């Protein structure tokens, strides 16, 4: 572990030298990239240097304890040894966690896609409820939500909705929301009071720059058409809606929420780039851990991850067997309890793998 920490400290020192170089300072994009890398390493390096300093103090305190002839002096040295050991234990834990490989997307903004699943009209209403839940969560954290595309059912539900959330560490928090969400409740469309089970799927994509993904314009087919609203009726008299098809992968993205064809094309390209990056990451994960990802096509994300049980007021995350009886608060955006627990579980799994 300490060899890796020494390498991190060496890289930090190298970054400081590079940022002090006038030639580097002339390249704004390079300065931004190097500054972000340095900022990401700063706390780890500070803790590493603190660990080295306290280790020296611990050796001195132990030596004093063993050599002290005065009982009072020896007792004080023993107290110092105990205090230093506790602090070093805390630092060791923090440093071990700091060495867990970080997802390079964690600081990215996100593009989220919610689609109605099984359950007919109720699934569409549930998709709209999830959209409100994530919107409220973003508001609580001071993040900005931008609607990209919406396909309504006409009764207050969504067939699908695509939106972006911009904020510090958005992907690091929301990445755990990808998967199938299940709701159990009496639908507003149910006249006999029977409980139905419906589903909606949530996909969380990191918003990537074009430089992060190799996108060949010759691989794109662009189609334009008139925007359509709920029920399929035309809502625009011009061909402002855009459909992008990535020919090598078959990925299709449609955007029609903007009146401008150019804006729809820009947004469609943003979503396409995010999907292509996610596809590449999925392939890499599959190669690294084929057994763990061999369950279904896209792995664990296609599994049911959470159930919202309205009769019991209960929300259960099946990945960590965590249930909370505060469903109204959860649907109003209070989902940090689940996200924190999932993040902790991920850390523990990574530490176990690296042990």
Residue 242 zone, left/alpha/beta (φ > 0; ψ -120 to 50; rest) = beta
- What is the SS3 assignment for 167? coil
**Residue 300's closest CA among 285, 321, 316, 314?**
285
pLDDT tens, 115-161?
999 988 999 999 999 999 999 999 999 999 999 889 998 788 999 99
Going by pLDDT thresholds of 50, 70 and 90, the confidence category of residue 228 is low
Q: What is the CATH number of domain 110-348?
A: 3.30.70.1660
Which ranges in the chain are annotated with CATH 3.30.70.1660?
110-348
Backbone angles phi, psi at 55, to 5 degrees: -65, -40
List of residues 6+ apart from 296 with CB closer than 8 A: 302, 303
Alpha-carbon Rg of the chain, whole angstroms? 26
Segment 51-77 shows an average pLDDT of 90
Which ranges in the chain are annotated with CATH 1.20.58?
2-98
pLDDT tens, 13-38?
999 999 999 988 888 888 888 898 89
Going by pLDDT thresholds of 50, 70 and 90, the confidence category of residue 229 is low
Distance CA 144, CA 109 (A): 10
Lowest mean pLDDT among 76-85, 207-216, 228-237: 228-237
**Residue 323's closest CA among 331, 312, 179?**
312
Q: Crossing angle for the helix pair 28-67 and 71-98, nearest 10 degrees?
A: 150
Task: Please provide the distance, in angstroms rounded to a whole number, between the alpha carbons at the two ends of the chain.
Answer: 10
With a threshold of 0.95, does the pTM exceed it? no
Residue 350 zone, left/alpha/beta (φ > 0; ψ -120 to 50; rest) = alpha
| Res. 206: pLDDT tops 70 | yes
Strand intervals (E) in 95-235: 110-116, 144-152, 158-166, 179-185, 196-206, 220-225
Question: CATH for 2-98, among 3.40.50, 1.20.58, 1.10.287, 1.10.8?
Answer: 1.20.58
Task: Return the number of other C-beta atoms located less than 10 Å from residue 92's C-beta.
Answer: 14
């Amino acid at each position: 572990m300490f060899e890796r920490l020494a390498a991190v400290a060496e890289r930090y020192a190298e970054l400081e030298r590079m940022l002090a170089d006038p030639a580097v300072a002339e390249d704004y994009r390079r300065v931004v990239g190097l500054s972000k890398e340095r900022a990401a390493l700063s706390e780890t390096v500070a803790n590493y240097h603190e660990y080295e300093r306290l280790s020296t103090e611990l050796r001195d305190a132990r030596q004093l304890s063993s050599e002290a002839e005065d009982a009072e002096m020896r007792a004080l040295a023993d107290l110092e040894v105990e205090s230093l050991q506790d602090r070093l234990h805390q630092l060791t834990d923090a440093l071990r966690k700091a060495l867990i490989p970080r997802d390079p997307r964690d600081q990215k903004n996100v593009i989220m896609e919610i689609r109605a699943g099984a359950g007919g009209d109720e699934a569409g209403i549930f998709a709209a409820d999830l959209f409100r839940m994530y919107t409220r969560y973003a508001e609580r954290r001071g993040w900005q939500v931008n609607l990209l595309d919406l396909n309504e059912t006409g009764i207050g539900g969504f067939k699908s909705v695509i939106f972006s959330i911009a904020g510090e560490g958005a992907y690091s928090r929301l990445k755990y929301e990808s998967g199938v969400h299940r709701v159990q409740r009496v639908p507003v469309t149910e006249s006999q009071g029977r409980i139905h089970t419906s589903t909606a799927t949530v996909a969380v994509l990191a918003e990537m720059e074009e430089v992060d993904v190799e996108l060949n314009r010759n691989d794109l087919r662009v189609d334009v058409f008139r925007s359509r609203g709920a029920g399929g009726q035309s809502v625009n008299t011009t061909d402002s809606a855009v459909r992008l098809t990535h020919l090598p992968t078959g990925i299709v993205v449609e955007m029609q929420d903007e009146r401008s064809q150019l804006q729809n094309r820009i947004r469609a390209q943003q979503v396409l780039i995010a999907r292509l990056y996610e596809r590449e990451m999925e392939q890499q994960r599959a190669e690294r851990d084929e057994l763990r990802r061999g369950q279904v096509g896209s792995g664990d994300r296609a599994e049911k991850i959470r159930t919202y049980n309205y009769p019991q007021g209960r929300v259960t995350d099946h990945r960590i067997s965590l249930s909370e009886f505060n469903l109204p608060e959860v649907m109003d955006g209070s989902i940090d309890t689940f996200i924190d627990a999932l993040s902790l579980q991920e850390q523990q799994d990574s530490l176990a793998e690296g042990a």
